[in-house]
Amino acid sequence: MAKGMREIKRQIKSVQNTRQITKAMEMVASAKLRKAQEKAQASRPYVEKLKEVVSSIATGSDGVSHPMLVSRAVKRTAYIVITSDGGLVGGYNANLLRNVMDTLKSKHTSKEEYGLFVIGRKGRDYFTRRDLPVVQSVTELSDTPKFADIKSLAYAAVQGFELEQYDEVFICYSQFINAITQRPTVDRLLPFENVEHHGGTAMYEYEPSPEAVLEVLLPKYAETLIFSALLEGKASELGAKMTAMGSATKNATKMINELTLTYNRARQAAITQEITEIVAGANAQG
């Protein structure tokens, strides 16, 4: 019995140590999540202004056209997939990668029909193990990434479309709803179709010409949307980590309570047995 009680005490101590770690990780993720949300929100005015200028040129200038605005027959597709580098994020990566795999199976019959641009070690390793065509990957990003971290990947994906290596580009990320909910999303990034003018009343003059401005702006706009999705993904990742660590902390507390109850019962049983033995011995002598 004493040996069993020592084991229970050792288990309680181990779970208490684990709870301290998960609680600390939950608090860190919570603090980082606030920063990630602020950074995502700070990028929105820039994205909206770019969108306004692009739509103004595309809809307000007669005869202006660009390959990134026109659909063509789809022979090969690029997918930009945003995952995390580390684990302990609940179902964040699993849900997104399942969604991506479902999309690949439904749209393609051969690996030759698509290429994968992967952000995050979890996604890269997942696709590499399945021998899927990873064209380029970026890993070891900080929790507050900069555009320079993914510039080469974003440029390669967008340029691949411009050079007609790919006829469509999709971006796959987790849309941040709140700390508990992240929605796996697969959105078409390129080509831009049905560009609508979004309500700006400002009149623009373009130098040297609307076509030349559009030539520069459209790739930048696409790259900005990729970075915006990355910021959204980081917020989702941290929200998922905070929720997962919160659940782990609650489960550890529940386990500690159950083990403590078991220990107290075992201790009470041991004391009762000792008393019974003492009384039986006294009776035997009397």
Q: Is the pLDDT of residue 185 over 70?
A: yes
The residue with greater pLDDT, 218 or 171, is 171
The whole-number pLDDT of residue 202 equals 60
Percent of the chain's residues with pLDDT above 70: 91
The whole-number pLDDT of residue 244 equals 94
**Cβ count within 10 A of residue 271:** 10
Percent of the chain's residues with pLDDT above 90: 57
Comparing 43-57, 74-88, 145-159, 186-200, the range with the smallest average pLDDT is 186-200
> Which phi and psi angles does 88 have, rounded to 5°?
60, 40
The residue ranges of every structural domain in the chain are 27-243
Q: What is the arithmetic mean of pLDDT over 248-269?
A: 92
When pLDDT is cut at 50, 70 and 90, the band that residue 201 belongs to is low
Q: What is the arithmetic mean of pLDDT over 210-233?
A: 87
d(CA 96, CA 82) in angstroms, rounded, equals 9
Which residue, 243, 180, 261, 249, is CA-closest to 23? 249
User: CATH second-level architecture of 27-243?
Assistant: 3-Layer(aba) Sandwich (3.40)
Q: Are strands 182-190 and 114-119 parallel, antiparallel or unpaired?
A: unpaired
- The average confidence (pLDDT) of the chain is 87
Q: What is the arithmetic mean of pLDDT over 158-183?
A: 91
Single-letter amino acid, residue 170: F
Q: What is the pLDDT of residues 129-164, one digit of tens each?
A: 999 999 999 999 998 899 999 999 999 999 999 899
Q: Is the pLDDT of residue 196 over 70?
A: no
d(CA 119, CA 153) in angstroms, rounded, equals 9
